[in-house]
A and B are shown apart, each in its own frame.
Chain A
Amino acid sequence: MMSKVVSLSRVSIGRGIACRSISLSAVSPVKKITETTTGSTTIVEATDVPLSSAPKAEVADKPHSCALCRYPVKIKYTDVLILEQLMREDGTVLPKQLTGLCTRQQLRLERCVMQAHWSGLFPDRTIPDFDRSGYKRFNRYWDNDIDMYRTQLKEKPGIWFYVNQYNPRGSLFKPAKKAESAKSD
């Protein structure tokens, strides 16, 4: 019978510096659970994870607790690199408890992530059966995160006059170009 020895987290604030993992470089604030088996004992502990060497964003003199409220710029659906920091690998958004954002920014983030998914800006983070039927196949853009709630119908006069000189529907019957180029490559 294997006995599991669970050691307390190596970094507990009360214990002092001796118990911390010794790393003279900046102490990475993020932990990860790791299991190490030696013989009949398994140690489950939280080890440090070195964060990417990305530069830390500059914070103003009086920082807000919300990571997005600090900056006077509204987040948009095109800010893919910012949205990725607050998303999971499967394309879902982290909850408010983990992002640490205020309600307003959290909802805005969720709306922007939805818009980015609909625009196809996350091709490696979607499910294979993402709904792209009908009008969803065509390109769309948003000026604002609230634009997705504007549901007024707009009527335009239909124009009977048309000049179809270059066979405009011909592209619908052409063989798929991507398949051809993939075969040639």
Chain B
Amino acid sequence: MELELSLSPPNQTRHPIKKSLHGDPCRFPLVSWNHDEDDQQPNTFFSGDYQQDLDDGVEGVIGWPPLHSWRKRMMEENQHERVEVVNREEDHEEGEININVMNRNYNELFVKVKMDGVGIARKIDLNAFHSYQTLTTALIYMFDKYVEIEEDGAGYKLMYQHRDGHWHLGGDLPWEMFIRSVKRIQMVRN
């Protein structure tokens, strides 16, 4: 099933389809954008300000949202850092304070998830799950609208990229260890 998203509402032809060099109609620019460090391909559209690359899942509209480029850079730098503070217990007049900070947004463990055949990546909070099974089920359900998936998700397996950069098959680590080490997830077709 091809993914076709439009920037404009369904019944409007605000942005005309422009013929590509090969005569095939080009797709409308995509609405969603998942900003990656991956390469961006030159545009082929009527408007010079769009970029799109379906396969890599890298889409972007230049200059949108309208955040100062300096602030954007700063946010991106923030996201790449992880602050690790060891478990610590403090004795205070008010009581004990227990800190366990694993990353900057220490209440959330958000990771990017991609599924083979789907152009858009998603992000999920691993805190919402307690096992590989619940995670896989949720992912299947989430991506169900975009690709044909068997009910038990038999056609896919969960691969994850460890903090050290290497890709592993999901399930090799105990769950608690997994959520602290995972950087991103990919659902790969068998």
Physical interaction between A and B: no
Spell out B's residues near A (CB within 8 Å): none
Chain A interface residues (CB < 8 Å from chain B)? none
